[in-house]
Amino acid sequence: AAGVIQSPRHLIKEKRETATLKCYPIPRHDTVYWYQQGPGQDPQFLISFYEKMQSDKGSIPDRFSAQQFSDYHSELNMSSLELGDSALYFCASSFGRGYEQYFGPGTRLTVT
């Protein structure tokens, strides 16, 4: 069965650079979620989109922005990167809000 696809899987950036993470949800899933998991920490919810509109917002820094496109894929844009942004970034998708979330393999971002 098709799963959530995230790209790139690994990304190395320097401080103050920008990064764009992409997420392709499971076909027919209309809701996308972004989570950040720092080393040794629990996943933290960042933001979600339902039918291309932002639906919930968590602890997402102002330096980050995200959107969901007409084909339901989503992109997380991160600017002015800081060392503390180094983490695993997971995207999840679901069919509608309030349903089981399927997580992707994650993008490991390293900021040097």
Partner 1 sequence: LAKTTQPVSMDSYEGQEVNITCSHNNIATNDYITWYQQFPSQGPRFIIQGYKTKVTNEVASLFIPADRKSSTLSLPRVSLSDTAVYYCLADNAGNMLTFGGGTRLMVKP
Interface residues with partner 1 (CB under 8 A) are 4, 33, 35, 42-45, 48, 55-56, 58, 88, 90, 92, 94, 97-106, 108
The CB-of-87 to partner 1 minimum distance in angstroms stands at 11
Q: Give the side-chain half-sphere CA count within 13 A for 61.
A: 11
* Shorter beta-carbon distance to partner 1: residue 18 or 36: 36
Comparing CB distances to partner 1, the nearer of 9 and 16 is 9
At which residue do the structure tokens 């180094």 appear?
Answer: 86
H-type helices in the chain, by residue range?
A: none
Task: Choose between 43 and 67: whose C-beta lies nearer to partner 1.
Answer: 43
Q: Are 104 and 92 in contact (CB under 8 A)?
A: yes
What three-state secondary structure class fits 18? coil
